[in-house]
Every structure is written in structure tokens, then in C-alpha cells.
A = this chain, B = another copy of it.
Amino acid sequence: MDKYLTNGDRLWSALMEMAEIGATSEDGCRRLSLSDEDRKARDLFAGWCRDAGCRLQVDPFGNMFAIRPGTDPDAPLVLIGSHLDTQPHGGRFDGVLGVLAGLEILRALNDAGIATKHPIAIANWTNEEGVRFKPGLTGSKGFAGVLDRASVQGEAGADYFDELDRIGYAGQRLADFDILAYYELHIEQGPVLETADVAVGIVEGIQGVRWFEVELQGQDAHAGTTPLDSRSDSFMAGAVLASRLRDGALSLDKDIRFTIGRVEVSPNSQNTVPGLTTLHIDLRHGSCAVLDAFEQLMSDTLADVATQEDVQGSIKQTMRVEPVEFDAACQGHLRQAAQATTGTEPVFLPSGAMHDASNLATMVPSAMLFVQSRDGISHNPLEWSEPAHVATACEILAQAVLIHANGPV
């Protein structure tokens, strides 16, 4: 590790020190956005950034920016960001790693006396987790100009902007804040990198998400008196449909995420053939074309199953988030940095979860790097990434940012 620019041990110490704010039993963290814990975390981070010689700015959404100047006073900045807030039973890595890796990069550049042409800045986006306030990713949405301010709803009557005032992080509209590119390091929250036995992966994009409610309407009937071939059994129709759709997903594209996570069976009585079953489907993929194709498959299969099982079927779309493709040049810088750091060709993967980078990608060239997370667990005190993987990920991020911040070679 002594060939690294960045210092993994120092980053790890910063992570552990930050984790003491809002620490819960079993190494968890509870640092809800704009709470007193969030204020303490922001203050700690701000102090570290000032110590590293950065100028601090806060925008009207409470997003914090710590800026290390570049050598060209007119050059736009390279931004590294993520979030310091957590879930109610959160862990020590989700979000925090991306912010503190940015800090470690600035500290390492200072130590090595390296100047960059473009300024490098770190962002801490407000309320990524969306726990105290809906919708989530509030800060980065506001920054990207895609937030409907009237739609922001606080828990128990809390007001987002009042709470910003209360904790002292209501800022001003930023002037002269041109961004060249955005990079975000985050834990994977999935099993792909662990299965592939690699420290990091380059994120190709963020999957689009579509939610559906599939209703199967049959006929309640007596479990004892109604022969199998005389039934309109809504649950059996749902089971056949679920199994066929999963097979369809696997043959259509291995990267499709097709989940039936919520099921309602009515009247849900053991000796009654159930007349109504509702399947709540979560569908994700990085490509709209693939999502459209699966949606067509779903509709065709439902029609087929409904006929075969003598039920009425209907599909309603209840949510839709478009996919995001990350910038090819930024991904290229990450790839070059990963090759140099690890000596191997990096893995590319999609992100199944939303991130602040989704919003940044609508404005500026953006990319994400994932670090392996144990058992894919997140939003849980058991969240864990190996120190060696964290160090490698931070170094790759630093090298990619350096390539970008020194302009075209």
C-alpha cells in the first residue's frame, strides 16, 4: 500500500470517528438528515475540510461543498460526493465512505504537494436516505433543479427548510460553481463484487425502476367441494404467472431484476380457494428497451395465464424512474485508474439502487465506483467493507479524479 497516493488507514480512522456520531449498538449508526446527529457530523466534516485548507459553501438545500482550488482560476471543478445521513438502523459505510474518501484524496494531495489544474471539491448531499423527509435524494435533486419544493414532506410535521435553519446549514444560491465532472464512490449493497472476488467495480449506470400492481381476479370457492378443474384460483394463477415471468426474465437479459416482494391473497383463509390475488412487482434494468420488452412479455404472459387459469388479469404501473447511463469518459478514467492500481481489468456492473449520482448525471459527466460490501448488506448495522478494499477504492477514485482534474493529457 505504500505505493498509494492516498492513506487507507487515515480514511478508515475518519470513517470510524464519524461513526461515533449517532452510534447505535452493534456498530450501527442512526444519523437522520437534519437531526442533531446530522449537524454534529456536518460540523466534524466541515472542521476536517477547513483543516485541509478548503473553502466551504452551503447551498439552499443544505448541500455542503468543500473546495480545494486549482491552478487555473477559471477552470470548472471536479466534484466528489455522497452523503453523511443514514437509515434509522444504518451502518458506517453507506454514503459516508464516498464523502470521506473525497476528504482523504484532498488530504493526500496536500501531503504530496500536488496541485491540480481544475479545483477538486467534495459534496455532502442532504437527505439522500429519504427517511425524515420524502422524497429521498432531496439535496442532489434540488441542486440539479429537478426538485418540486412543494412535494417535500417531513415526518411528524418537520419542515425541511426550517430544519436546515435550525441546524445552521441553510445556505445561499452558489455563484461561479461550474462542474467539469462528478465522481461518487459507494458500497455496492449487492453481492456481485463479493461473488467475483474483486475489491471494486465500475458502475455503468443506474437501473430504471418500474413498479406494477398485477391483479388476478378469480372466484372464492370452498376448498373441499370445488374440483381443481372447476376453479378460478387467483393464487394459483399468480404462482404460475410468477414462475413464468421469472423464466422469461432470465432468458431475456441476465441483468434484469424482477422481484415480487409483496403479495396479497384474499380472503386468505386456508379452506377457501382465494378469489383475489395481487402481486406487487419491482422491475429494474439499465436500458429502457429491455424494460419495455419485459413489460410486453409480462402483458402477453398475463393474458395467457388468465385464459388458462380462468381468471381476470390486469396490470397497473404505479412508479417509473428512468435509467441513467454514466459518462463514458469518466468510466474510462476509472478503468485506467483501476488497471494502474490493481494490475487487472476491472469489473463493470449496473447499480440497482438510486444514488445522488443519478441527479448529477442529468447535469454533468458523472460516474460511480462501487466497493465490495460483505453479503451485500446495507441499511443495517452489519454493513461492512474490508479495510483493504476501501483503501484500493479510494486510491482508484483519487487517480481517476487526478486524470480528470489535470485536463486532457
A25 part of interface (Cβ distance < 8 Å): no
Cβ B224 vs Cβ A235 within 8 A = no
State how many residues of chain A have any CB contact under 8 Å with chain B. Answer: 58
B226, B246, B353: the one contacting A190 at CB < 8 Å is B226
Q: Which residues of B contact A272 (CB under 8 A)?
A: 259, 261
Residues of B within 8 A of A13 (CB): none
Residue in B258, B268, B284, B352 whose beta carbon sits within 8 Å of that of A261 in the complex: B268
Give the residue among A189, A258, A270, A281 with the most B Cβ atoms within 10 A: A270
Cβ contacts A362-382/B at 8 Å (1 or 0 each): 000000000000001010000
Given the complex, which residues of B lie within 8 Å of A284, measured CB to CB? 223-224
**In the complex, are the beta carbons of B225 and A236 less than 8 A apart?**
no
A347 to chain B, nearest CB (A): 13
Indicate if the CB atoms of A223 and B259 lie closer than 8 Å: yes
Oligomer copy total: 2
Do B226 and A352 have beta carbons less than 8 Å apart?
yes
Contacts of A255 in B (CB 8 A): 227
Asked if A225 and B269 sit within 8 Å, CB to CB, the answer is: no
Residue of B nearest to A267 (CB): B261
Distance A109 CA – B268 CA, assembled complex (angstroms)? 48
A82 to B189, CA, bound (A): 63
Which residues in B have their C-beta under 8 angstroms from that of A268? 261-263
**Could you say which of A144-152, A237-245, A338-346 contacts chain B?**
A237-245
Q: Is A257 an interface residue (CB 8 A)?
A: yes
User: Shortest CB–CB separation between residue A121 and chain B, in angstroms?
Assistant: 28
A291 at interface, CB cutoff 8 A: no
Give complex CA distance A212, B226 in Å: 19
Q: Which residues of B contact A233 (CB under 8 A)?
A: 259
- In the complex the two chains form, is A250's CB within 8 Å of B229's CB? yes
Q: Are A224 and B257 in contact (CB under 8 A)?
A: yes
B254 pairs with A243, CB closer than 8 A: no
Contacts A243-B243, A270-B280; is A225 near B265 (CB within 8 Å)? no
Q: Are A225 and B262 in contact (CB under 8 A)?
A: no
Question: Is A29 in contact with chain B by the CB < 8 A criterion?
Answer: no
Q: For the complex, what is the distance from the CA of A352 to the CA of B267, rounded to whole Å?
A: 19
Nearest residue in B to A274 (C-beta to C-beta)? B261
Cβ B242 vs Cβ A229 within 8 A: no
Whose C-beta in chain B lies nearest to the C-beta of A242?
A: B239
Q: CB of A260 within 8 A of chain B?
A: yes
Which residues of B lie under 8 Å from residue A250 when comparing CB positions? 228-229
A191 interfacial contact with B, CB 8 Å: yes
A279 to B23, CA, bound (A): 39
A192 within 8 A of B: yes
Interface assignment of A164: CB less than 8 Å from any CB of chain B: no
Cβ-based interface call for A50 (8 A): no
Pair B352/A224 contact, Cβ less than 8 Å: yes
A236–B228 CB distance below 8 A: no
A6 is an interface residue with CB less than 8 A from chain B: no
Point out the residues of chain B lying under 8 angstroms from A257, CB to CB.
223-228
Which residue of the partner chain B has the closest CB to A240?
B243
Identify the 5 closest CB pairs spanning chains A and B, nearest first.
A224-B352, A190-B225, A225-B352, A239-B242, A223-B259
Can you name 10 A-B residue pairings with CB atoms under 8 Å? A189-B222, A190-B227, A192-B230, A211-B270, A226-B376, A228-B257, A229-B254, A239-B239, A259-B270, A261-B268
**Other contacts beyond A235-B263, A261-B273, A263-B265: 6, CB < 8 A:** A191-B226, A223-B284, A227-B257, A229-B254, A259-B271, A261-B267
Interface residues of A (CB under 8 A from B): 188-192, 195, 207, 209, 211, 221-230, 233, 235-236, 238-240, 242-243, 246, 249-250, 254-263, 265, 267-274, 280-282, 284, 351-353, 376, 378
